[in-house]
């Protein structure tokens, strides 16, 4: 099991990732932010990851601190995981529909953090929606992933965000699949 903690004046976080068959985890997510928990469940389900996430955050201020810090810790957990795997598929891309919404995600477990999202008018998003994008960015940066996401169409924000989180999860799960050789021409990712 990979376990990481982070405690600040704004958040107290524990994340546990099941890594072997004998590890016993009954996946549970507790953040105090129901819509974000719904999105995290989708991401982790499609990534085929069994994870416990516990976060106590200063929600009376804003959800931003909790979401950003969960991204930091979860990214660190994923980076630890792929360092242990050593040989993984590395690249993945997918189109993910959710009713009228369609998004594209391209992901590389590169060891070089980069996150870009296009197709959303960021200034029109609610503070929770902005914080969920900050979670994705924080997660990608701390896992040292290169991630490009595009919202190709959609008008229902729930559908758009669900497609984004599912797409990210599908690409992450596929990129983490074990292969027989290191997928790098230089012989190393990190």
Over residues 54-113, the pLDDT tens digits come to 999 999 999 999 999 999 999 999 999 999 888 899 999 999 999 999 999 999 999 999
- Count of C-beta atoms within a 10 Å radius of residue 49: 21
Cα separations in angstroms, 81 against 7, 32, 56, 171:
21, 26, 24, 16
Instruction: Give the pLDDT confidence score for residue 190 in this predicted structure.
Output: 64
With contact defined as beta carbons under 8 Å apart, do 91 and 156 qualify? no
**Entry pTM:** 0.94
Q: Domain residue spans in the chain?
A: 2-175
In CATH, which of 3.90.226.10, 3.40.50.460, 3.40.630.30, 3.30.230.40 is domain 2-175? 3.30.230.40
């Amino acid at each position: 099991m990979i376990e990481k903690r982070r405690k600040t004046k704004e958040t107290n976080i524990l994340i546990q990732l099941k890594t072997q068959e004998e590890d016993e985890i009954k996946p549970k997510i507790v953040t105090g932010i129901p819509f974000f928990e719904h999105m995290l469940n989708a991401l982790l389900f499609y990534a085929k990851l069994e994870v416990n996430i516990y976060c106590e955050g200063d929600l009376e201020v804003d959800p931003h601190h909790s979401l950003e810090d969960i991204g930091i810790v979860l990214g660190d957990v994923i980076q630890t995981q792929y360092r242990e795997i050593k040989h993984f598929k590395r690249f993945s891309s997918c189109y993910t529909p959710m009713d009228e919404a369609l998004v594209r995600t391209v992901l590389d477990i590169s060891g070089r953090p980069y996150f870009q999202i296009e197709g959303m008018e960021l200034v029109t998003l609610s503070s929770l929606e902005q914080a969920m994008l900050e979670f994705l960015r924080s997660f990608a940066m701390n896992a040292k992933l290169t991630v490009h996401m595009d919202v190709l169409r959609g008008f229902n924000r729930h559908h758009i965000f669900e497609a984004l989180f599912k797409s990210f999860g599908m690409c992450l799960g596929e990129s983490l699949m074990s292969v027989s050789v290191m997928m790098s021409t230089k012989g190393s990712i990190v």
